[in-house]
Amino acid sequence: MTDKPGFIGLGIMGLGMARNLLKAGFEVRVWNRTASKMDILAVEGAATATGPADLAAQCDLIFVCVSDTPDVQAVLLGENGVIHGAKAGSLVVDHSTISPNATKTIAAALNERGVQMLDAPISGGSEGAANGTLSIMIGGEAAQVERAMPYLQTMGKTITHVGPQGAGQMVKLVNQILVVGNALAMSEALVFAQAGGLDLEKTFNAVAGGAAGSWMFSNRAPQILNRDWRPGFTIDLQQKDLRLVKETADSLAAPIFATNIVFDMYRTLQAQGLGAEGNHALIKALERLANVTVAG
Ligand code: NAP
Query: Residue-wise pLDDT tens for the chain (296 aa)?
Result: 589 999 999 999 999 999 999 999 999 999 999 999 999 999 999 999 999 999 999 999 999 999 999 999 999 999 999 999 999 999 999 999 999 999 999 999 999 999 999 999 999 999 999 999 999 999 999 999 999 999 999 999 999 999 999 999 999 999 999 999 999 999 999 999 999 999 999 999 999 999 999 999 999 999 999 999 999 999 999 999 999 999 999 999 999 999 999 999 999 999 999 999 999 999 999 999 999 999 87
What is the CATH topology of the domain spanning 5-164? Rossmann fold (3.40.50)
Distance CA 140, CA 178 (A): 23
Q: Which residues are catalytic?
A: 172
Ligand 1 contacts CB of residue 14 (under 6 A): yes
CATH number of 171-290: 1.10.1040.10
Ligand 1 atom closest to Cα of residue 70: 18
Q: Which stretches within 117-254 are classed as H helix? A: 125-131, 142-152, 167-195, 200-207, 215-225, 235-252
Domain ranges of the chain: 5-164, 171-290
Q: What is the pLDDT of residue 165?
A: 96
For ligand 1, atom 18, name the residue with the nearest CA.
Answer: 71
Ligand 1 atom closest to Cα of residue 121: 44
Element (H, E) at 43: helix 39-43
User: Do residues 82 and 76 make contact, with C-beta atoms less than 8 angstroms apart?
Assistant: yes
Ligand 1 contacts CB of residue 175 (under 6 A): no
Q: What is the pLDDT of residue 1?
A: 55
Q: What is the pLDDT of residue 132?
A: 98
